[in-house]
Amino acid sequence: MEPVRKIEEGLKELYDSNVGKVERQPDVDIYDLGDSVVIYIDMPGVKKEGIKVRVYDRSVEVTASPSQQEAQGKPIRRERISNFPVSRKIELPFRLRVDSARAVYRDGVLQVVVGKAGEYGVAELKID
């Protein structure tokens, strides 16, 4: 068991020494509402002012800066998402109406709602 413990301690030390440098990907839920899509992104502890949302024609990208926490003492373990830069690009299988996008941040969850602009692909047309 000793080699496993040494590996765990080494990984913990590497992790702790890179807090603030390593990006984290937040968890997401995506719902198709027919004419729009809703994306819920978990970002607990992140300040609204530090969040940036970009909507592209087929994806949504979310980034956030780490929150500076006022804490006393030397950290022993830092795992909360708010301690890390956050970045996630969500690819979608349809085009988005960029002008219809809106975002709301409440209770640690970012909600992004974007209208769908239509499907990419080939259409075979019936000739009248």
**Cα 105 to Cα 19, 45, 65, 81, distances in angstroms:** 24, 11, 15, 16
90 within 8 A of 61, measured Cβ to Cβ: yes
pLDDT tens for 38-83 read 999 999 888 888 899 999 989 999 999 887 667 778 777 777 777 7
- Indicate the CATH number for domain 24-67+80-119: 2.60.40.790
Domain boundaries along the sequence of the chain: 24-67+80-119
pTM value?
A: 0.73
